[in-house]
Amino acid sequence: MIIKKDQEIIKSYFEDVSNLKGGHATEVVFPENAGELSVILKEASAKKTPVTISGGGTSTTGSRIPFGGIVVSMEKMNRIHDISEGSMTAKVQAGVTVDSLKDACDKKGLFYTSHPTERSAFVGGTVATNASGSRSFKYGPTRVWVKRLKMILSSGETLDLGRGERTLTRKDPVVKLDNGREIRITLPTYSMPGTKSSAGYFAKDGMDLIDLFIGQEGTLSVITDIELGLVRKPEDIFSCFVFFKKEEDSWEFADEARRISEADPGKGALSIEYFSGNALGILKAKNANVPAGAMGAIFFEEEIRPGYELAAADRWLKVISRHNASSEDTWVAMNEKEAKDFTELRHMIPESVNEIVKQIGYQKFSTDIAVPEDRFLEIMRFYKETFDKGGIDNVMFGHIGECHVHTNLLPRSEEELARSREMVIALIKKGVSMGGTVSAEHGIGKTKHKYLEIMYGPQGVLEMARLKKAIDPACILGLDNIFPRELLKCA
Ligand SMILES: Cc1cc2nc3c(=O)[nH]c(=O)nc-3n(C[C@H](O)[C@H](O)[C@H](O)COP(=O)(O)OP(=O)(O)OC[C@H]3O[C@@H](n4cnc5c(N)ncnc54)[C@H](O)[C@@H]3O)c2cc1C
């Protein structure tokens, strides 16, 4: 097992794309198997040394940044055990990147549906954050595809959990470990929103126990092995960029595209993604063909059978024209290369925003709110009003098909920073009042504690801390993720 202590070498583990500063740890440990990991955790528990688990380091919330103790990097546990066409499953170690999993599936004509647009994320990281991505519109978030998890708790004991094997009820909330030891927990009492959500622990009466460990942000266990469900690779993907002169038209197009897709999934979209006028400004700097004067765009994909491109184009153009755009405002990918260019263009937005934030040097304020479908147009109008009044640089993009758009405020001074903070709180309160979530996919990490409290109240957050302490009594795993460590009241 490699252990690195040279601060110059390990300092990259004290960063992610949140721009959160001040991370520190004494060493980074690279276990190569579950046995080594178990020893590390047992020792850390005995000495009460905090342990932060690091995946690909692509979190936007500071969740893999350590504030004390040691870092456990999963990068050496990167074996793909098996990809089975028969059972349509992949069995992998947690340190496999999304990129390598997707490539390996591709070679077998299979498709891993749920992934963040950032392919350098580790599969373990995506499970720990319940990540989703553009194609979650059709296929749902990571949670839906997790069939089995092998994990190690902070005590060094193991937990092997298959979906459907154990139910957790309020009456009998017991986590039974592989060695037979039982941990009694108390299930939090909050009600989760009806939207997709990665905000705090999944908790409801009668839930599958495996769901507690998906989206736990490295606070309950270290995930070592994962079994995931796969689908057959689509024969062909029809993809389109549609540019609108008025942003409201782009929102209404997205609303109709979603309704059509839900009514007939066979002919529905695979993804429906949004770019605000400012996001298009960023794209224009990279691609001169982006039409001048476009105030919003929607990128969407549909799985089709080869030869059905024209039929799909015809069907979608009718919808596009109902929302004041035309074939001249529409790019259609004519081959695989163009389709790939489109997805790369989509990916360029969050990357470019992160680059801009680094250049400006101030923290960005972003939201990850999703709201119920019937409140979608209302929240879009609220975002626009708030940003128009605020006058701070902003960019919006994301998974509009799931009523989930990332808003990003890019302050350039201390005064703008303070105002951005207030504006984001106003957006969060609005989203929550509509029955939405404060985090649809990125998690809470270390930067969004306040938002979680707005959603579940201080009592809900306290209940999460109590649950964590029951499973990690030494209070070493993922400290300050989801809630501040002080709530644990550990010695
Ligand atoms: C350009 C860009 C685009 C993005 N787009 C999306 C998107 O579309 N959808 C989306 O959901 N996210 C997106 N993200 C965010 C990010 O990619 C996801 O949150 C991803 O799941 C993080 O995975 P990671 O391996 O990088 O985890 P890390 O950042 O290393 O860690 C994230 C959390 O998971 C925990 N963790 C990691 N591995 C384990 C393990 N084996 N066991 C237990 N806990 C573990 C860590 O402790 C930490 O709490 C994007 C990020 C970037 C930079």
Residue 317 structure tokens: 């153009």
Residue nearest to atom 50 of ligand 1 (CA): 118
Residue nearest to atom 6 of ligand 1 (CA): 116
Atom of ligand 1 nearest to the CA of 134: 8
CA of 221 to the centre of ligand 1 (A): 16
**Residue 307: per-residue pLDDT:** 87
Mean pLDDT per 10-residue section of the chain, whose length is 491 residues: 95 92 97 98 98 97 97 98 97 97 96 85 97 92 97 98 96 95 96 96 97 98 98 92 96 96 89 95 87 93 90 93 91 84 86 87 90 97 96 95 96 94 96 98 96 98 98 98 95 72
Atom of ligand 1 nearest to the CA of 124: 41
CA of 123 to the centre of ligand 1 (A): 9
Residue 490 structure tokens: 């550990």
Name the residue of 73, 122, 368 whose CB sits within 8 Å of the most ligand 1 atoms, as the mutation to test its pocket. Answer: 122
**Residue 377: per-residue pLDDT:** 96
CA of 150 to the centre of ligand 1 (A): 18
The CATH fold assigned to 80-232 is 3.30.465
CA of 351 to the centre of ligand 1 (A): 14
Name the residue of 53, 127, 225, 481 whose CB sits within 8 Å of the most ligand 1 atoms, as the mutation to test its pocket. Answer: 53
Residue with tokens 């979603």: 258
Residue 164 structure tokens: 């459907």
Atom of ligand 1 nearest to the CA of 131: 11
Q: From 1.20.1560.10, 3.40.47.10, 3.40.190.10, 3.40.462.10, which CATH number describes the 236-433 domain? A: 3.40.462.10
CA of 73 to the centre of ligand 1 (A): 13
**Residue 361: per-residue pLDDT:** 84
Residue with tokens 């979190």: 59
- For the chain, what are the domain ranges? 80-232, 236-433
**Residue 357: per-residue pLDDT:** 86
Separation of alpha carbons 320 and 332, rounded Å: 13
CA of 78 to the centre of ligand 1 (A): 16
Domain 80-232 identical in fold to domain 236-433: no
CA of 13 to the centre of ligand 1 (A): 13
**Residue 336: per-residue pLDDT:** 77
Residue nearest to atom 13 of ligand 1 (CA): 116
Q: Which residues pair with 302 in a beta bridge?
A: 238
Atom of ligand 1 nearest to the CA of 133: 8
Atom of ligand 1 nearest to the CA of 127: 21
CA of 16 to the centre of ligand 1 (A): 9
Atom of ligand 1 nearest to the CA of 445: 49
Provide the whole-model pTM.
0.94
Separation of alpha carbons 359 and 361, rounded Å: 5
Atom of ligand 1 nearest to the CA of 53: 47
Looking only at Cα atoms, what is the longest distance across the chain?
Answer: 66
Residue nearest to atom 21 of ligand 1 (CA): 126
Atom of ligand 1 nearest to the CA of 217: 49
CA of 481 to the centre of ligand 1 (A): 13
Number of CB atoms found within 10 A of residue 325's CB: 24
CA of 126 to the centre of ligand 1 (A): 5
CA of 190 to the centre of ligand 1 (A): 25
Closest Cα to residue 142, out of 213, 194, 65?
213
CA of 462 to the centre of ligand 1 (A): 24
**Pocket lining for ligand 1, CB < 6 angstroms:** 16-17, 52-60, 63-64, 74, 94, 116-118, 121-122, 124-126, 128-129, 131-133, 217-218, 222-223, 350-351, 441-442, 478, 481
- Alpha carbon distance, N-terminus to C-terminus of the chain: 30
